[in-house]
């Protein structure tokens, strides 16, 4: 039953409307009434009616003023204006404020009931559409991992689902279970589903964690904590414990990718990309290890081993001038390899390569397009025919790892500058996308998204929004253009969406911001506005 409230300064009208309708029979609840907008406002906030009927001309706070406040604070509430024949212009102004309908005094009971039923049906339809389009927890978490939602939008969506999302620190773990690897089970698909259920039960029992199915084989786990050290310990410890338990229980291999600890909600995207890359590297490592163990059983190969720890140490502290001494000693065992008769040497070097990449990810940031680089190196391994070729390959591997090691913290400075310049030049294009920007700097969308987040502390979406809102603030102060014209000029074709977004970022509507006067007179500088807006948006 929809709740109805009446505001009118004439007591006879209030009593007549209250008494002439059988509210319960018609499917409504009459909350009560008030003689003017000032008295009505706290009652509206207390009663939260679905439908508000208000006169226009009232003392203290008239109907138009009341409508403006209610529309801003409770946009879903339906408002009906009552007016006399000589107040039609006021009624038109009210409709421009977003009022649903108006009726002329005196209003009959039948006309009022018909109007209320029409509004009730509209409310039901809107609620149904909202329910259909509502964010699911799985979509929210997926969009966070994909960098497809801003911080404020994510917090708002989580609040609507009573989902506790915010925390001081975040990290992402990806579990990957492939049914074709469950060779010992007659029904591999059923076995994979069983492992999925067991994984879900364990994750569901862990505190401060949210998870969702990313695909048929992958489950993404987002962990939260107030302590970065405790979160890091939980991520590695719990992920390893769960993986070991399931592998022992179901005699299978599970790939696990782990992302870094992040201190912002939008950092979930960065941690997810790292976890995805780590998972792929882990899968390659496991597949190669399996082949290596099979070939190691061949007695004709001999006991060929490589000192992995010395190689990893050389990756971290070695130099090109030491290559001539280090490599022949390290690769001495490979002299006995018959590269034509066995694949063991190829798998051995591939295993070393994958382990070196894992170590590089922990010691320093790995470079661009790790998967492509690994694929290139694996092709190079296949071309090895003798010991000298293996030395040259190891030299190439070390040089690649050292190039990453030597890159400074600003290694992506040129690319970030080009991205920002392109956005600054094209922010007014409503269809501007991540794909468009990635094409300009000649990198993949996922790599650009990851790098931009890491290097700037914000997603591309947030930077684009910041750029557009900053330009809108400038136009509001320096021109008399209408709000919809400014919205279009900065890349938004929907004025309503632009106004809501502007208020989220700045704390004021466009008109409120314009009325504050010039920045020098009544407000801090525009730069400070943007800084405050960014702080509020990304907090």
What local confidence, expressed as pLDDT, does residue 21 receive?
A: 92
> Smallest Cα–Cα separation from 380: which of 370, 388, 390, 371?
390
Task: Tell me which of 3.90.226.10, 3.40.50.2300, 3.20.20.70, 3.40.50.150 is the CATH number of domain 2-133.
Answer: 3.40.50.2300
d(CA 362, CA 296): 29
Contact 235, 242 (CB under 8 A): no
Distances, alpha carbon 180 to alpha carbons 106, 189, 290, 536, in Å:
76, 8, 15, 48
Higher pLDDT, 85 or 337: 337
pLDDT band per the 50, 70, 90 thresholds, residue 365: low
Contact 82, 105 (CB under 8 A): yes
For the chain, domain boundaries: 2-133, 136-278, 297-407, 413-538
What local confidence, expressed as pLDDT, does residue 527 receive?
A: 43
Contact 315, 359 (CB under 8 A): yes
pLDDT at 85 over 70: no
pLDDT band per the 50, 70, 90 thresholds, residue 434: confident
Query: Thinking of the domain 136-278, which architecture would CATH place it in?
Result: 2-Layer Sandwich (3.30)
Mean model confidence pLDDT for the chain: 82
What local confidence, expressed as pLDDT, does residue 144 receive?
A: 92
Higher pLDDT, 143 or 402: 143
User: Worst-scoring range by mean pLDDT, 16-25, 114-123, 150-159, 176-185?
Assistant: 176-185
pLDDT at 201 over 80: yes
What local confidence, expressed as pLDDT, does residue 522 receive?
A: 36
What local confidence, expressed as pLDDT, does residue 289 receive?
A: 59
pLDDT at 197 over 70: yes
What local confidence, expressed as pLDDT, does residue 171 receive?
A: 93
What local confidence, expressed as pLDDT, does residue 362 receive?
A: 62
Task: Tell me which of 3.40.50.300, 3.30.230.10, 1.10.10.60, 3.10.20.880 is the CATH number of domain 413-538.
Answer: 1.10.10.60
pLDDT at 335 over 90: no
| DSSP-derived pairing of the beta strands 28-34 and 51-55 | unpaired
What local confidence, expressed as pLDDT, does residue 537 receive?
A: 35
What local confidence, expressed as pLDDT, does residue 186 receive?
A: 65
What local confidence, expressed as pLDDT, does residue 41 receive?
A: 92
Q: Say what percent of the chain tops pLDDT 70.
A: 84
Mean of pLDDT values over 322-326: 90
What local confidence, expressed as pLDDT, does residue 411 receive?
A: 62
pLDDT at 524 over 80: no
Chain-centroid distance of CA 295 in Å reads 44
Q: pLDDT tens, 477-493?
A: 899 889 999 999 999 98
């Amino acid at each position: 039953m929809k709740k109805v409230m009446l505001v009118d300064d004439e007591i006879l009208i209030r009593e007549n409307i209250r008494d002439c309708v059988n509210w319960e029979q018609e499917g409504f609840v009459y909350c009560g009434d008030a003689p003017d907008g000032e008295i009505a406002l706290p009652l509206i906030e207390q009663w939260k009616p679905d439908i508000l009927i208000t006169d226009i001309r009232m003392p203290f706070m008239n109907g138009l003023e009341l409508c403006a406040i209610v529309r801003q604070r409770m946009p879903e509430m339906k408002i009906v204006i009552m007016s006399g024949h000589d107040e039609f212009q006021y009624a038109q102004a009210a409709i421009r404020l977003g009022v649903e309908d108006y009726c002329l005094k005196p209003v009959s009971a039948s006309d009022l009931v018909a109007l209320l039923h029409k509004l009730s049906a509209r409310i039901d339809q809107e609620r149904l559409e909202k329910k259909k389009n509502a964010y699911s927890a799985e979509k929210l978490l997926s969009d966070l991992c994909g960098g497809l939602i801003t911080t404020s939008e994510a917090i708002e969506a989580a609040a609507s689902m009573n989902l506790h999302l915010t925390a001081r620190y975040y990290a992402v773990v990806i579990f990957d279970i492939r049914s074709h690897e469950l060779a010992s089970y007659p029904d591999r698909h059923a076995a994979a589903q069983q492992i999925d259920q067991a994984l879900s039960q364990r994750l569901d029992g862990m505190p401060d964690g949210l998870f969702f199915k990313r695909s048929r084989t992958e489950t993404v786990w987002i962990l939260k904590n107030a302590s970065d050290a405790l979160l890091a310990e939980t991520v590695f410890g719990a992920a390893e414990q769960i993986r070991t338990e399931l592998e022992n229980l179901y005699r299978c291999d599970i790939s696990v990718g782990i992302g870094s600890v992040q201190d912002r909600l939008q950092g979930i995207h960065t941690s997810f990309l790292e976890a995805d890359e780590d998972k792929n590297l882990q899968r390659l490592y496991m597949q190669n290890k399996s082949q290596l163990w099979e070939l190691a059983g061949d007695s004709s190969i001999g006991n060929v081993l490589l000192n992995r720890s010395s190689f990893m140490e050389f990756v971290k502290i070695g130099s090109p001038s030491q290559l001539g001494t280090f490599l022949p000693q390290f690769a001495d065992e490979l002299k006995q390899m018959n590269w034509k008769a066995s694949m063991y040497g190829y798998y051995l070097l591939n295993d070393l390569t994958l382990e070196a990449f894992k170590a590089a990810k922990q010691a320093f940031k790995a470079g661009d397009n790790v998967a492509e680089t690994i694929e290139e190196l694996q092709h190079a391994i296949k071309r090895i025919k003798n010991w000298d070729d293996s030395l040259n390959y190891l030299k190439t591997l070390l040089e690649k790892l050292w190039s990453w090691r030597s890159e400074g913290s600003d290694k992506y400075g040129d690319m970030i500058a080009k991205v920002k310049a392109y956005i600054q030049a094209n922010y007014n294009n409503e269809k501007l996308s991540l794909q468009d920007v990635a094409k300009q700097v000649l990198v993949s969308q996922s790599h650009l998204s990851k790098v931009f987040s890491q290097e700037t502390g914000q997603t591309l979406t947030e930077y684009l929004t910041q750029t557009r809102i900053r330009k809108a603030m400038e136009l509001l102060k320096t021109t008399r253009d209408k709000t919809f014209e400014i919205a279009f000029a900065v890349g938004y074709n929907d004025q309503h969406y632009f106004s809501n977004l502007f208020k989220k970022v700045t704390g004021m509507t466009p008109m409120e911001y314009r009325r504050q006067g010039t920045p020098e007179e009544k407000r801090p500088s525009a730069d400070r506005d943007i800084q405050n807006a960014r702080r509020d948006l990304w907090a």
